[in-house]
Every structure is written in structure tokens, then in C-alpha cells.
Structure 1
């Protein structure tokens, strides 16, 4: 018998859709250490855009699931639930909700999950919108563009914005990743060890999670006494996200998802190397952990419709800058729909 998992999701339909207009189905997937709650601020902008000064012609029906093992979605009972498995689960969810075609948005692990869905079921995915891009191995082209890009960006397809976000390379990429990736090594190898500690201490859990909402929002916040947490978020919103992990006891199972995707037996490399052909939109936020220029992204995403440099914001785009992200999603879908016609 096929094992079943109870999957939690929120499903918001437009409350006042004009006669004759159809809502556009949009699946939005979170990452770690976020949750479905990251999308609470952006959902009204997408489901009632006219009420919030956005284009009412692009009104969405939004579905936000919790990744299995996160929050109120049941944790897997055996090994092997990685981004590919999560993508299959969410595809079945969309079919059961009555959607044979839909748009996708993802950040963090949500980016990887929605990308795998686009690879597996391109006939169902009308468009893929991301604020984080996972690339495969850099290769010779990336190396050459890194060497020449600082002084001759136009020669290797880089823009001035790319140069500003990438260089000095070691400071903004190598050292930045070393500073921020300690958690990744732990969770990819021994998630249960640290998970047991965090499940036993609400203060410890809050510290572990909120530190990411500080440094991943803006690396400059690292130097502030309070981590700059209230510059982009309310404490109520931050603690709500922490409480979703605390009341569900899901921090350990959420970290196991990292191990499943990054262990030596994982399929992460295969996913990262496989081309994506569905229409793709990229929102490049300036304080994202690593910046990937369009010229690099095109090596994998073969049908880029939109690539926008966002004026502000970091890793938790929907949580930090819901209006900026909502407008970019609308702009992307507008172009895809126009091209389809």
C-alpha cells in the first residue's frame, strides 16, 4: 500500500472576482527556516490586487503548502523525501484541487521544489517565478566571466548591476558563504543532534531561526546589537514563524530535508544540471546570499521571460517586500500570457 502523508496548505480564492474573469492558479512554496506564514502579507496583494493598487487584470488563486516535515505537514516516516519527492506531492495536490495548468513561485527550498516540478511536468507549468536560483556546476564559462567580468563585464554578458552585486568576489561570495553556511554542514550531516536541543528550548529555537532572519535579510545587520530584526519585520510576525516550528515540534524534520537533498546519495546534482524549458522569471534581490547573473542562469533556464534587479530586499522576499514581489510576479505572468496569445 502506498504510504500517505497529511499535507497542510492554505488555499485563498479571490473574494470579488468580476464576472467573466478567471483567477490564475499560483502555487507558492516556502523554504527553511521559513513557513507558509511568509506569504501572509503577499496573498491579499495577489488575490485582491485592485484593492492594493496593483493590476486587477492579473488576479490569482493562491495555494501555499507546507513542505512535508515543516509546520503542520506530516513528516515523512522513511528516508528519501527530497525536493523531487516534494515536487511530486505538490503536483498531486494541484491536480486534486482541479488545476491541470498553473504558475509556480519559490524561494530557498521552494525554488528547488518548484524547479523540479517544472522539469517533471512542463506541460502543466505555465510559468516558473523564482527569487533564488540553484545552478549546477559553474564550468569554464562561469570561470571566464568571473575573471573578465570585473573589468570587461560587457564582454562576458554581465551588467553594471551584476558587477556591483558580485565584486569583490571573495568578500561577497566566498567569505559570505563561509560565514553563513555553518548551519548547512550540521543539517546536511547531523540534523537530529541539533534538532533535539532546539526542540527542548524555545529560546534556543528562536535564536537559531531569528539569526537567519537578521543576516539573510541584510548582511550589514550582523553588526547591529539587535540584528536589525525590526527594520523589516514585526516581532509578532517573526515569533509567529518560530511558533509554527515550536508547537508542531518540526524543527528536526525540517532540517532532515536538508540532509535528504545534500547527502551523497541525493539527486540534487541531477536536478541542478537538468535544463528547465518552461517560461521563467527571476527577481534578483540585492541582499540575496549569492547573486547569479542572467548570463549564468541562462545556462540552465532556457526560456527566461523576465530577469529583474530588485531595488531592495534579501532572502525572504515575500516576507520582506511583498509589494515588490507581487508586482514582479504580475509582470512576469503578464508577459507569459501575452506570449502565449
Structure 2
């Protein structure tokens, strides 16, 4: 992977995850000394993560989970680190064996990481083994957001969505990709939307599976049909009773961060209390032993364990303060005009709100693909990697 930029002094370093045994000993000790609250008084998740869910998760994590899975799963993929704007950016880079593959940079969100995208690597880079053709192949770049996973922790203010979007464009330039596409969900959808609006040289199209701009002013969006009214109602429910994590991290990330770095059980509870659909799927995986698609106990704990072992609970929370805090633009808003390049969007039935096509068209005048998946939720790439990959193939097919 030697490029002209490396020869000019810009270094891209191979990276291997190496977890010290002492870190695993510390995790075991802290799990063993977990202090439990009494059982919630509501019969559902109204008061937050239910005690039975956490006890089942703890039991598997402390007694059965293979702690070095994070290490082995990531080290099975080519990983690298490069410094961009003062921060070491960790990324997975898997080049397809198919010569005409389309370069794709894909961004995770919170409480996700590159872990949630591992099982989409095969379908995206080697589609001939997953129901696609060689013409559907991607060269795949999976960066860890600054302050997440194995990327460096920002030491100054200013790592908002726009700065991250510019860093991603620089990363693709360093890798020698002069034409590429971008995808994201959750926070990654905000980064990808911003990339599309910035329009860096070489970016040919974007795709998201969360309509982040709808958070800004949903009342301005079409509301004449049943699907639109249902989306508005779901979004209102999220904004009034389901976004506690969002408000805390956007306003007081350091406060919650002390608990996230001190107690693995607190970190796990905080991370699974995201949205109703994914919470109950996670609860079912641990309490009933019934995973939803690829959202298994091991895969869920891979992601939580990665946060714990890298100590990035607080720094990841601070990314919300940067992107959506008191001094940031309103959630989902942007001073930049809509993208001028093709935009693809896919909606999944378990998402926080199911985006109607009219909303996607109102926000993205250059919308060229609107997909409606049969299964999956907020963590679409994680839960349904094959369906997710099929959506990306369809969205970007015309750009090849």
C-alpha cells in the first residue's frame, strides 16, 4: 500500500490489536464486583435497561464470553493507522480481488464501532460468494471515528462532523482513491451527509440508512400520508422519551464518562439503552437466547468489550457534544447546501422512525435510490449484513 503520499512523508502504518492480559484481569475483577440496583418498578424499558437483561448479559460476559474475540476478529482483517489533523485514525482496509471494485468508505456510529461492520466485509468485497456479481464489488475502508475504538483521542475541541468528513476525504486521498463513494448510519450518517454537502474531489455518491437531517425540523417535512404521519409520531416519541442518552452526551459527556470508564456493567447498560427495537432484540439475545439476525450475544459483547478495553466511553460521548452540543448546529442541520452528487437511502423496518420516500426526496433533491429492506433496524449492517450489502450494491450500481 505504498503511495506517493507515503513517499512524501505521510505514513500509513500497519496495525495489530494487542490486548494486555492485565487489562482482561481488570475487566474480570470489575465485573465480579458489580453493584446492582433493585429491580425497576415498570414492567418494560420505560425506566431504562431492565435488571433481568443486565443480569443475563453480565452472566454471559463474566462466565462464558471469550475475551480475546475482539483481538482475533479485528486481527483477521488488514488494519492501519495514519495521523490526520493531529489524531491517529485507525481503519480497516480490505481491497477486493475484483479489479474494477468501487472504493467505499463506511462510517459507524454510537454505540457502534468497526466491530458492527465486520460481517458486511465479505458481502461487500467478495459479492460473488454472497449472491452478487463481480461488478458489485467494493474496496472497503472502515475508519474508527476519532475518540472511538483504536483511533486516537482528540486533545482539542473542534472534532465535529465537518472536521471528521474532511479527514475521511484526506484518508481516501492518501490511499490513492481518486473516485469513491461513502456510506454511514447513526453518527456515521451525519458524517456521510456532511461529506456529500462538502463535495470533496473524488466523492461520486453517498448512501445513508438514517435520515439525520429529519431531526432538525421534522414539522417542515411532508405529513399528508399514513407513512409520513407514522414517521412523525415515532420521531416525536424518540425526542420526548427515548433520547436520554443523546441529551446527556450532547450536554454533559464528561459526567456520564466517569461511570463509563469505571464500571463495565455501567458501560454495557448505557450502550444497549439506545432505541426500543434494538434494546428488545439485545434483551432477547441474552435473556431468551434468541438473537435477531446477526445480533448475537457474542457480537454484542464484542462491541461493548472493544469500548471497555480501549477506554473510549468518555471520548465517544464527547463526540456528541461536538456534533450536537449547545454550541453546535441543531441536530441534523447544516449550513451547507444539499449534496449535488447522487444520494442513496435505505430504510429498515426497526429503525427509530421509518423514513418515507417523500422525506428522503425533500431533503435530497439528487436522490437516485430509495430502498425498503424487509428486516433490520438501527444497526442494519450489524443485524442484517447480507440485506445491507444488497442495498449498497443497488444504491451505487449506476455509479460504476
TM-score (norm 2): 0.73
For structure 2, the residue ranges without an aligned partner over 5 or more in a row are 1-83
2:19 aligned partner = none
Q: What per-residue deviation string (whole Å, max 9, x for no partner) do you get for residues 115-164 of structure 1?
A: 1111112542111011111226547752xx42x324xxxxxxxxxxx35x
Q: 1:251 aligns with which of 313, 318, 333?
A: 313
Q: 2:379 aligns with which of 316, 321, 324?
A: 316
Q: 2:264 aligns with which of 195, 202, 208?
A: 202
In structure 2, the residue corresponding to 1:328 is in which secondary structure? Answer: helix
Equivalent residues in 2 for 1:1-341 (5 A)? Answer: 4-14=86-96, 16-17=97-98, 21-135=99-213, 137-138=216-217, 142=221, 145-146=222-223, 148-150=224-226, 162=227, 166-167=229-230, 169-170=232-233, 172-212=234-274, 215-217=276-278, 226=287, 230-232=291-293, 233-267=295-329, 270-271=333-334, 274-337=337-400
For structure 1, the residue ranges without an aligned partner over 5 or more in a row are 151-161
In structure 2, the residue corresponding to 1:43 is in which secondary structure? Answer: helix
1:109 is displaced (CA, Å) by: 0.6
Aligned 8 A contact 2:180 2:203 in 1:
yes
Aligned 8 A contact 1:127 1:333 in 2:
yes
Distance 1:272 1:54, change over 3 A: farther
Q: What per-residue deviation string (whole Å, max 9, x for no partner) do you get for residues 206-234 of structure 1?
A: 1221333x734276878999388733312
Q: What per-residue deviation string (whole Å, max 9, x for no partner) do you get for residues 35-70 of structure 1?
A: 011110100111111012222212111000000000
Partners in 1 of 2:197 and 2:104 — Cα distance?
17
RMSD: 2.5
Question: Which range moves more in the overlay, 254-263 or 117-126?
Answer: 117-126
1:12 is displaced (CA, Å) by: 0.5
Partners in 2 of 1:223 and 1:100 — Cα distance?
44
In structure 2, the residue corresponding to 1:231 is in which secondary structure? Answer: coil
Aligned 8 A contact 1:215 1:221 in 2:
no
In structure 2, the residue corresponding to 1:230 is in which secondary structure? Answer: coil
Q: What per-residue deviation string (whole Å, max 9, x for no partner) do you get for residues 267-316 of structure 1?
A: 45652763122101111111111233222222221211110111111100
In structure 1, the residue corresponding to 2:212 is in which secondary structure? Answer: coil
Aligned 8 A contact 1:211 1:227 in 2:
no
Distance 1:168 1:190, change over 3 A: closer
Question: Which range moves more in the overlay, 321-330 or 220-229?
Answer: 220-229
Distance 1:281 1:218, change over 3 A: farther
In structure 1, the residue corresponding to 2:135 is in which secondary structure? Answer: coil
Q: What per-residue deviation string (whole Å, max 9, x for no partner) do you get for residues 7-41 of structure 1?
A: 10000012x43xxx322100000000000111101
How many residues of Structure 1 are paired with residues of Structure 2 in the alignment?
314
Partners in 1 of 2:363 and 2:89 — Cα distance?
30
Partners in 1 of 2:395 and 2:301 — Cα distance?
32
Partners in 1 of 2:284 and 2:147 — Cα distance?
33
